[in-house]
Amino acid sequence: MRRILCLMSLAVLWGGTAGAQESPAPGALEALLACRGLADGSARLACFDTAATRLAAAQAGGAVVVVDRAKVEAARRQAFGFTLPSLADILPEARQGAPSETSRDAILKQVEAGVVSARPGRDGKWVLTLDNGAVWRQTDTESLLREPRPGSRVVIKAAALGSYLVSVDGQRSFRARREE
């Protein structure tokens, strides 16, 4: 599942960058921002009008996509637990002006959710389906004092070396990996 998501992400990103290179509006945002430097008011207005029209055409054609912070945060929460490529890893030009990896906005450290269903797998380790659609499977042998049940609250934290710790109703955490 993880490989499929990575390949799909790469295909979307690769397709998006190929389309942007063929677009009649490369550099549309940069052109708009460059207009601010013009001293003459009428020249600046004409520049803004031209650049804004070009930017709108690029957005309508899909060469430029504008996403607000709330949608980015929702996507991060939805993908929490999966290793997906970042634009900075794929496109060198995305590194310029991108938040650093140590920025608190760049890394989601934990998510909270409710349990929809909980069952022990064939190996006796817990499989939790959460209200955000994620499915997490226990990877260690840590036992729980109280079994997870529908309605239980879980906190999933990013841990060392790409692992994750799941705490159910404030109990001791166990290691888990995301399956869906």
Q: Where are the domains of the chain?
A: 2-95, 110-178
The whole-angstrom separation of Cα 161 and Cα 138 is 16
Q: What is the structure's pLDDT at 154?
A: 92
Q: What is the structure's pLDDT at 9?
A: 43
The whole-angstrom separation of Cα 13 and Cα 102 is 23
The whole-angstrom separation of Cα 180 and Cα 135 is 5
Q: What is the structure's pLDDT at 84?
A: 58
Task: Report angle CA 92, 34, 65 to the nearest 5 degrees.
Answer: 50
Question: How far, in Å, are 17, 59, 60, 91 from residue 10 at the CA level?
Answer: 10, 21, 22, 11
Q: What is the structure's pLDDT at 88?
A: 58
Strand locations in the chain (E) = 110-120, 126-130, 135-138, 153-158, 164-168, 174-178
Per-residue confidence in pLDDT tens, the chain, 180 aa: 444 344 344 334 444 444 434 444 567 888 888 889 899 989 999 999 998 888 888 888 888 777 778 887 777 777 777 765 565 555 555 555 544 444 444 567 888 999 999 999 899 899 999 998 889 999 988 888 888 999 999 999 988 888 899 999 998 999 998 888
| Contacting residues for 54 by C-beta, under 8 A, at least 6 apart | 25, 28, 31, 32
Q: What is the structure's pLDDT at 22?
A: 44
Q: What is the structure's pLDDT at 56?
A: 86
Structural Rg of the chain based on CA atoms: 22
| pLDDT tens-digit readout, 106-126 | 567 888 999 999 999 899 899
Q: What is the structure's pLDDT at 119?
A: 92
